[in-house]
Amino acid sequence: MNAKQAAAIEAVKMVMDGQVVGLGSGSTAELFILELGKRVHTEGLDIIGIPTSKKSESIGRESGIPISTLEEHSAIDITVDGADEVDSNLDLIKGLGGALLREKIIAAATQKEVIVVDESKMVHQLGTKSPLPIEIVQFSHGHIARNLAKLGCTPNLRMKDSSPYVTDNGNYIIDCSFKGIENPEKLEIAVRSIPGVVETGLFLGMANTVIIGASTGIRIMKRKEQPARRSLR
């Protein structure tokens, strides 16, 4: 069993009968969905899944998980999702899979946000391994990128098959490379003040628990106190 699989299996143990469960996106979260589907099939686990992307919805349905939406279930008991970077404060960079907007909407509606990663995603400072994905409107994306560059990053429009990558919500993504992010809160405010920015891949104060899969076993980090949800706009 690899580290990602081990983390996913540990997360499945946290899901209880009768819960509304956010289904995250990315390779480790997809393993969680598959394992959760096994519990639905073998134990008759009674849950409802709220997917964070079209892909996680498809995997959930194929796994036998009943799927619904935030319109039908506005409060989510637990969400299990992945991350591209996690620091010691349990702050995250997410969005390399392209689902950051829906992931953040689901996370904000979730009572307990659980992140599953392997040990390679742990960092001392955000922005040291992964670029910061920024979801933007398609209109005047070059102008938006130039404004992002003023914040000290190298912005790159995400491409797929020689064309700009388009999210599930019809937007573009600019991946912003920093040499470390010293003040994530300040950067979040600055980025979101740029007209045309839809959402950022900074998930600050949102994760309750991080399950880390490693070659030596599972390590679990928990936030001591659940902070109030911060509105930065």
Please say whether the beta carbons of 32 and 80 come within 8 A: yes
Single out the residue of 194, 6, 224, 19 nearest to residue 116, CA to CA.
Answer: 6
Please say whether the beta carbons of 46 and 73 come within 8 A: no
Please say whether the beta carbons of 85 and 49 come within 8 A: no
Residue type, 25: S
Please state the length of the chain.
Answer: 233
Active site members: 103
Torsion angle, alpha carbons of 190, 191, 194, 200, to 10: -150
User: How far apart (Å, rounded) are the C-alpha atoms in residues 218 and 118?
Assistant: 9
Distances in Å between the Cα of 146 and the Cα atoms of 140, 141, 152, 202 are 10, 9, 11, 20
Single out the residue of 122, 119, 85 nearest to residue 4, CA to CA.
Answer: 119
